Structure 1
Amino acid sequence: MSIAFTGCTYRYGRKLRPVLNDLSYRTPDGVTILLGPNGAGKSTVLKLAASVIRPQSGRISVNGVGSRSREYRKHVAWMPQSITAMAGLTSREQVAYAGWLKGMNRSDAWEHAKKSLGMVDLAEKADSKANTLSGGQLRRLGVASALVHECRVLLLDEPTAGMDPTQRRTFRTILTNIVDRKGIQILMSTHDVADLADDAHHVTVLLEGQVRHDGTTQDFLSHAVSGTPEGRRAESAYTALTTRH
């Protein structure tokens, strides 16, 4: 199950240059890293895919179901850059509340909240107040809130921003386990090529509102300059793709 963009154009003001211009793109299976410089359109792609905003032209769909429908929203979940702990709620209560907002009844939302917290290794924090979680744990709580209604595509906007290397490693492992156990597609935007690691299956590079590259991680790394040290191949490939005309 994939999100398909067909000829999508989006601008934030009528007289402004389009952020995305006639974009056609389909989310691949597994974990896909969405790379691009600031202003490339990464967050806009995720907001469109989450049906938070709508394109001025073109269509977005999942298995032929348009993004304006309630059915579409059942399949797609979005975690924005900023996750806020809700005052007075435990972690489980916050995740269950997210499920209720997505149309689940209270008992199902409560049960699914427990499962979702387990999927992101926060089961032991279920009864802890959400505002006592660390920054990395709060990001994982955001993922649990996104997963609670059993989506098929998970959209993550800069989820590792502000994490230290250990937190990043833990977070990436959790995402890989989610894909392996649930078969969910993940599209994760980032500006940090370190997020590639060995866990991403695909890489999409956006530049000036267009897809500059879309392929497997190995395809992406093949753009690195010959002789680049192994630990810097991702950085070299990204530089090559975003500076080539």
Structure 2
Amino acid sequence: MKRRSGSAGQPAQELLPGTPSGARGRDAGWGHEQQAWNRGHGNVAGLDEVGRGALAGPVVVGAVVFPEGTDLAGLRDSKLLSAAHRERLAGEIREQARCWSLGVAEAAEVDRLNVLEATFVAMRRALSDLVVTPDLLLLDAVRLPGSEIAQRRLVKGDRLCASIAAASILAKVERDRRMVEFDRIYTYYCFGENKGYGTPVHLAALEKRGPCPIHRLSFRRVLGPQERQGTLLA
């Protein structure tokens, strides 16, 4: 998507409990967005990441800005949805969003920086690709260092805040797509099924075969004694 630089120059806000204002049952609600819109924030961006705990593959961050007054139903933490439901909602999110983007940090960046810093890199990439400059960020419990944009950190934000849930859905759909592609290249690890997470089948493959080029070598469960001596198996 088209890049646009700039920020609102406002201080970050404190960590807030993610009260489910406006939630429909288990759906994430629009209460935090509505509160921000009422306070004059025209471009409220929800951000969330997927893949921090995986042993292989990238960290992917979604960023979404919805028009004021959006009330899209059915948004939830992406982990609570089936793949088919995520795909359907992702289409609705893209249609209704003012703009959206994705930021990616590859496994090599996770190894070089650590997974948290790589997540921040992916967040900055997602923000830089939005076609509008947000004046408020809604984040799932973390704070993005170095950003001059006002931030609101919400406990369990991906379950309670619609924009964060939408960002998690877009990120999950994209990351899953990439892992299915990697499965065609590195067939031994069943990435299409486990998406790079440490399932018994994945761990057994690592034990027998060792890591492939998209494994995170800085993660303790990835490297066995042989690989710690410098052997990387393709």
Instruction: Please give the TM-score of this superposition, normalised by the length of structure 2.
Output: 0.23
Task: Point out which structure has higher relative CO (alpha carbons under 8 A, 6+ apart).
Answer: 2
Instruction: Please give the TM-score of this superposition, normalised by the length of structure 1.
Output: 0.22
Q: Larger % of strand: which?
A: 1
